[in-house]
Amino acid sequence: QSVLTQPPSVSGAPGQRVTISCTGSSSNIGTGYDVHWYQQPPGTVPKLLIYGNNNRPSGVPDRFSGSRSGASASLAITGLQPEDEADYYCQSFDTSLSAWVFGGGTKLTVL
Amino acid at 101: V
Tell me if 12 contacts other proteins by CB under 8 A: no
Residue 99 burial class via C-beta count within 10 angstroms: exposed 0-12, middle 13-18, buried 19 and up? exposed
Q: What is the size of the binding site for other proteins (CB under 8 A)?
A: 28
Tell me if 109 contacts other proteins by CB under 8 A: no
Indicate if the alpha-carbon torsion angle 98, 34, 25, 5 is positive or negative: negative
- Within 29-88, the residues that bind other proteins by CB under 8 A are 32-34, 36, 38, 45-48, 51-52, 55, 57, 87
- Minimum CB distance to other proteins, residue 18 (Å): 19
C-alpha pair distances (Å), 62 with each of 40, 45, 54, 55, 57: 18, 21, 11, 10, 10
Q: Is 59 left (phi over 0), alpha (psi -120 to 50) or beta?
A: left
Stretch touching other proteins by CB under 8 A, among 17-25, 68-76, 77-85, 99-107 = 99-107
- Minimum CB distance to other proteins, residue 99 (Å): 5
Residues that bind other proteins (CB under 8 A): 2, 32-34, 36, 38, 45-48, 51-52, 55, 57, 87, 89, 91-93, 97-105
